[in-house]
Structure 1
Amino acid sequence: MKTAYLYVRVSTDEQKRKGYSLPEQEDRLLKYCDYNNIEVKGIFREDFSAKNFNRPEWKKLIATARNRSKEDKNILFIKWDRFSRNIEYAYEMIGMLRKYKTTPMAIDQPIDFSVPESTVMLAVYLSVPEAENSRRALNTANGLRRAKQMGRYPNKAPVGYINLTTMDGKKIIAPKQPEAGIIRWLFHQLAKNIHRVEAVRRMAEDKGLICSRSYFSKLIRNPAYCGLIPVRLSSGEQYMVKGIHDSLISETLFYEVQRIITTKRKTSSKREELKAMFFLTGFLTCPLCNRKLCGSFSTGSTKKHPYYHCRGRCKTRIKAPLLNESYQQELQRLMLSEKAVNIFNCVLEDWNTNTQKAEYLQERQQVVRKLQEQELTLSQARKLFIAAVLKLDDYSELKREYRVNSKCLKKELNDINEKLKNIDKQRQQGDRPIVNILQGFSSMDTTDKKHLVNLIPPLWVDYKTGDMSLDLNTALSKILLTKKHRSRR
C-alpha cells in the first residue's frame, strides 16, 4: 500500500475564500487517499504564507521525511500553490525531497515525474502562483501610492497618531494624546541643539513615550509629523505631498531638526559634561599670572573632583563647586526694580497670558466641534440602523470608532482645560515670581547659563573664600537691584 503525508495550507487573505479553508482541503485529500487506497501517515496543517518555506509545519514535515529517508513516500496537497508561490524555492525544495525519497504531488494538478515533458506543465503550475503574487503586490503598491498622492496616510499610524475610519470608509490618522504632545516637545528640544539625540530620547521616555532607539531614529525623520507624506515613484524618485491629517509641528521646525541630526556634532558627551560643570570658564582669571582659568576633573581614590585651574607654572587650582555656588548665590540676590516689574507684567499679560489663552480657547472650540460632529454621526447611524438601512455589523463598527474618537477628543479637551486653569492661577499669583527672575539659574540649560554669565560676569573673586561680586553693565543696573538695596528703598 502506498503511503503519504497530507499538507494543507491557507494564508490570512485566503481564509474567507470558498474552497481554501483547512477543513475543506483536508476532507478532499482524505477522500482522495481513501479512493486510491493510500495510507495517511500524518496531516500537517499550516496557516502561513507560501512566499518561502520558512513555515513551522512544513519544517516538521521535512524533518519527518528526513528521518524516514529509506522508504518511498508522497506529500499530497490540493494544488501547487499550496506547496509554493515562488518557482525558484519550489524547484530547490523538490530536489531536496528527492534525496529523501519523497515526491510532492497535487491532486488537482497531477504531474508524472517519470515523463520528461511533464516538467513543462510543472513550470506552468509553479509560475502562475508566483505571477499572481507579483500582480497582487503591484496592485497593493499602486493602491498605496494613489492613497498617498491624495494626501492620506495608508500605513499603520506612527506614534502620536491613531488610525481612524471616516463615514465613507476612508482611512485617516488623527493626533493621539499624550504621545502627540510629547513628540511636539521632543522636536523643539532637538531644534535647540543642546542635547544629544539619545539624551532627548531618554527625556521623552521619562515623559511617557515608550520607544526603542532604532524606532526613535525613524520617528524623528518621519515627515508625517509636519503634515507631509513621501510618495515614491516606480522610477525610484520621491516627492512630498501635503497630507490631509493634522500636523504636530511646522515644516520649518521639521527641516531644522533634519539639518541638526544629519550634521556631525562636534561636541561629545564628555565635552557637554565639562561645559555643564565649568560654566564660569572664560570669565575667571588666575590671581597670580592673570591667565584665564580652565576646568577639568581630577581623579581621586573614589570619585572625580572638579577644579578651575591655571595652565601656567603657578599651578593655581580652586574647587569648582565653591565658585559655582557663590555665583548662584550672588545671582539670587538680584531682583527686578519696581519699574521693570511693571513693564514685565504688561508684557506677560499681553502676550504670555492673553495670547496663549486665546490660542487654547480656539483649540477648545475646535475639539468641542469635533465632539459634536461625532455625536451627530452616531445619531444619524442610529436612525439608519433603526430604519434597517444600516446593518448590525456596520453599526457596531461605527459605535466602536465613535468610542475611540470620543475618548481621544475628551482627553485632549481635559488637557486644554487644565492649561487654561494654570493660566488663571498664574494671574492670581501676581508679580512675586517675576521679581526673583534669576532664582531658576540651577535648572537652566548649559547654553542659557553661559549666556547669562556673559551678560553678568564675575567682577571680583576671592579664591580663598569663594566670595565674589557681579559686574552689572549700565543697562542691567537700571532694571536689576540687590535685595538689600531694594529693602532700603
Structure 2
Amino acid sequence: MNPHLTDFAQRNRKNPHRPTEEILFIKWDRFSRNIEYAYQMIRMLRELNVQPMAIDQPIDLEVPESIVMLAVNLSIPEAENSRRGRTTSDGMRRARKLGRWPGRAPIGYTNRIDSDGKKHIIPKLPEADYIKWSFEQLATGGFTISQVRKMVCTKGLQCSKNNFWKLIRNPFYCGIIRIPANHLEEIQFVEGIHEPLISQNLFQQVQLIINKDRNKRCINDHLKYLFPLRGFLFCPWCDRKLTGSVSHGKSSKYPYYHCTGNKCRGRFRAEMLNNSYEEKLRKINIRPEAYELLSFVLEDGNIFTCRRQYTDERKNILNDISKQELHISKARKFFLDEKIDFDDFSKLKKEYNEILKQLSKQLNSITQKIIDCDLKNGTWPDKNFTIFQPYKDLDIKGKRDIINLFTPTSFNTTTLNFDSLKINKALSQIVEYRE
C-alpha cells in the first residue's frame, strides 16, 4: 500500500465522524489495474468515509445499477494490462528464439547500442575474465563453489552467494540461451548471437562437478587435509591398510588412523604420524651434484615457460588496447560527421575509457610478473633446501603426490616414529637422506 495512503487511513480512523471526502483521479484505470484489489480498496475507503471518484468516468456508487458500470470500468484496464504483458512476454520469447538476449545483460556483459541503433551485448572487462576464471577453477574439482566465490570476490568481482550459484548454472556464458517452458511449448535451448565467455565443454564439465553431493564433497575434502597419509599406511599387526576418521571427545575432536579389520583394534594418533613423516622429509636434501642440472630444468620448465605465457598475455592485452583506441577514434569520427549526437558520443567514450582503464591495470600486473620472472632467472634454493619446504605449502593433492614419491614404510607402535621412507628409484639419484 502507498505510504501516503497508509498515513491518510490512520488519520481518518482517529476521527470517524469527519465529513465525507473524495479521492479524485482521471480514469478508473489510474485507480487500479486489478479488479480484486480495486474492490478491496473501495471497501476500505468507504469504511473511512471516503468516496473514490473518476473525473472522466463519474459513477454514483449510491445507485445500485452503477455497480455494472463500475465492474466494466475496472475490468477493462485489467484486461488491457494482461494483454500488454502477454504481448511483451511473447516478444521477449521470439527474441530469445532468434538468439538475442532481451533485457538487462547478465553479470560479465554490458548492453550496447551501435551507431545505427542496433542493440546487443558484449563482454564487460574485467568481470568477464573473473567469470571465466571461476569456471576454470571449478572444472579442476579442487575447490568448492564457496571457495571459488570468495577467491574471485577478492579479485574484484561483486557477486552475492545466491547470484554466484545462479551464474555458474547459467548456460548463457557458453553461448546458449535458455527459453523457459510455457503452456504451449517445453523448455528450449538455442544458440545465442552473443560472444561466449567459455566453451560448452567447459560448462558441461562444471555442471557434472557441481551437481554431485556438495555436502559430502566438502566433508571428504576436510578429512583429506586431516589424513594426508591415508592409503599409504599399513597396520603393523594385521597388515591391512589404515584409514582415517575423527573421534569426538567431550571438549574436542581427535583424528585417528585406524585399521579397517573388524577384529583388529589398531588406532594411532593422526597428528603424531603426520608430524613424524614431516620430520623425515626435513632430512631429505638434494645432492650437490644435482643442483646445476635442476637449475637448468627450472629455468626451462618453469621460469621460461611462465615468461612465454605472460608475454603472450601481454601481447593480447596490447591488442585489446589498440582495438579500444580504434573504437574511440571511430566514435569521434561519427560524432564529427554528425552520425551520432554528443550524448551518445559521451556514453561511448566513457565506456571505452573504462575498458581501457581495466586493460591498463592488467597490463601493469602482467608486466610486473614478467619482471619477477627475469629476477628469478638463474636462482635456486640454498643448499639447506629440504623436501619439507615445498611439502608444507602444497594443497592436499600436491602433498599426496610427494607422499607417493617418498612413501612411509613401517612405524613404531609406541613412539609412532617411522622407521624409514621408500624413495622413488629415479629420485634416489638426486636426493639423499641425512640423519
TM-score range, shorter chain: 0.7 to 0.9
Q: Which residue of 1 aligns with 2:188?
A: 239
Is 1:93 aligned to residue 41 of structure 2? yes
Distance of aligned partners of 1:467 and 1:343 in 2 relative to their CA distance in 1, 3 Å threshold: same
| Deviations, residues 378-437 of structure 1 (Å, cap 9, x unaligned) | 3431x145xxx75xxx41342133113322233124314532442453255236469979
Instruction: Return the alpha-carbon distance in structure 1 between the equivalents of residues 128 and 275 of structure 2.
Output: 38
Q: 1:430-475, CA deviations, whole angstroms, 9 ceiling, x for partnerless residues?
A: 3646997964333333234334433442135456373554323445
Tell me which of 378, 382, 392 is aligned to 2:332: 378
Asked if the contact 2:228/2:400 (under 8 Å) is kept, the reply is yes
Instruction: Tell me, yes or no, if the aligned pair for 1:323 and 1:466 is still in contact at 8 Å.
Output: yes
d(CA) in 2 for partners of 1:223 and 1:153?
Answer: 13
Aligned pair partner of 1:450 in 376, 400, 405: 400
Say if 1:218 and 1:266 are closer, same or farther in 2 by CA, change over 3 A.
closer
Q: Measure how far apart 1:126 and its partner are.
A: 1.7
Partner residue in 2 for 1:199? 147
- Which of 355-364 and 117-126 deviates more? 355-364
State whether structure 2 residue 59 is matched by structure 1 residue 111: yes
Q: 1:300 to 1:237 in 2, by over 3 A?
A: closer
**CA spacing shift, 1:398–1:230, aligned 2, 3 Å:** farther
Instruction: Tell me: CA distance 1:334–1:151, structure 2 relative to 1, closer, same or farther (3 Å).
Output: farther
1:28 alignment counterpart: none
> Per-residue CA shift, 1:298-334, capped at 9, x if unaligned?
5667654444345778865554344334434555635
Report the residue type matching 2:208 in the other structure: R
Name which of 405, 412, 422 aligns with 2:359.
412
CA contact (8 A) 1:65 1:102 kept: no
Other structure's SS at 2:423 match: coil
Matches within 5 A, 1:86-485: 86-232=34-180, 234=182, 235-265=184-214, 267=216, 269-297=218-246, 303-310=252-259, 318-328=268-278, 330-331=280-281, 333=284, 335=286, 337=290, 342=296, 345-348=299-302, 352-354=306-308, 357-381=311-335, 383-384=336-337, 394-423=341-370, 425-430=372-377, 432=379, 439-461=389-411, 464=415, 466-467=417-418, 469-477=420-428, 480-482=430-432
Deviation per CA, 1:76-114: give whole Å up to 9, x if none. Answer: 222112210112221232233334443211011111224
CA contact (8 A) 1:378 1:399 kept: no
Q: Indicate how the Cα distance of structure 1 residues 97 and 181 shifts in structure 2: closer, same or farther if over 3 A, else same.
A: same
Change in Cα spacing, 1:335 to 1:229, as seen in structure 2 (3 Å) is: farther
CA distance in 2, matches of 1:86, 1:437: 76
| CA positional deviation for 1:365 | 1.0
Indicate the larger mover: 273-282 or 433-442: 433-442
CA distance in 1, matches of 2:310, 2:360: 16
Q: Contact 1:326–1:468 at 8 Å: present in 2 too? A: no
Within 2, Cα distance between the matches of 1:448 and 1:308?
Answer: 20
Identify if the C-alpha distance between structure 1 residues 228 and 416 changes in structure 2 by more than 3 Å, giving closer, same or farther: farther
- 1:84–1:415 Cα change, 3 Å: same
Q: Which secondary structure does the structure 1 equivalent of 2:397 belong to?
A: helix
Choose between structure 1 and 2 for higher RCO, CA contacts under 8 A separated by at least 6 residues: 2
> How far apart, CA to CA, are the structure 1 residues paired with 2:173 and 2:351?
21
Check whether the contact 1:282–1:292 (CA below 8 A) recurs between aligned residues: yes
Q: State the aligned residue count.
A: 424
- Match of residue 6 from structure 2: 59
Letter of the 1:283 counterpart: F
Letter paired with 1:129: P
TM-score, normalised to structure 2's length? 0.81
Q: How many Å separate the matches in 1 of 2:318 and 2:294?
A: 34
Mapped to 1, the partners of 2:386 and 2:359 lie a distance apart of: 32
Q: CA deviation at 1:278?
A: 0.9
Q: CA 1:233/1:310 → structure 2, altered by over 3 Å: closer, same or farther?
A: closer
In 2, Cα distance between equivalents of 1:150 and 1:481: 63
Amino acid at match of 2:432: T
3-state secondary structure, aligned to 1:285: coil
Please give the root-mean-square deviation of Cα atoms over the aligned residues, in Å. 3.7
Q: Structure 1 counterpart of 2:221, which letter?
A: E
Contact 1:152 1:244 in 2 (8 A): yes
Superposed displacement of residue 356, structure 1 = 5.4
- Structure 1 residues 272 and 349, CA, compared in 2 at 3 Å: closer, same or farther? closer
Farther-moved stretch of structure 1 (342-351 vs 102-111): 342-351
Quickly say closer, same or farther: Cα 1:171–1:471, change in 2 above 3 A. farther
Give the 3 Å change call, closer, same or farther, for CA 168–476 of structure 1 in structure 2.
farther
Q: What is the alpha-carbon distance in structure 2 between the residues aligned to residue 379 and residue 324 of structure 1?
A: 68
Native 8 Å contact 1:327 1:468 kept in 2: no
Partner Cα distance (2:259, 2:79) in 1? 76
Aligned counterparts of 1:330 and 1:420: Cα–Cα separation in 2: 40
User: Is residue 244–residue 257 contact of structure 2 (8 Å, CA) maintained in 1?
Assistant: yes
* Distance in 1 between residues matched to 2:252 and 2:213, nearest whole Å: 32
Per-residue CA distance 1:47-72 (angstroms, 9 max, x = gap): xxxxxxx3222333343444444453
Task: Identify if the C-alpha distance between structure 1 residues 89 and 169 changes in structure 2 by more than 3 Å, giving closer, same or farther.
Answer: same
Which moved further from structure 2: 433-442 or 322-331? 433-442
8 Å CA contact retained: 2:33, 2:78: yes
Gaps of 5+ in 2: none
Cα shift readout 1:348-387 (whole Å, capped 9, x = no counterpart)? 5785543553354234313421332123213431x145xx
Normalised by the length of structure 1, the TM-score is: 0.73
Whether contact under 8 Å (2:99, 2:192) holds in the other structure is yes
Q: Name stretches of at least 5 consecutive residues in structure 1 with no aligned partner.
A: 1-53, 485-489
Check conservation: 1:186, 1:204, Cα contact below 8 A: yes
Distance 1:378 1:233 in 2: 45
TM-aligned CA distance change 1:466 to 1:160, over 3 Å:
farther
**Distance in 1 separating the partners of 2:60 and 2:156:** 63
Counterpart residue identity of residue 466, structure 1 = N
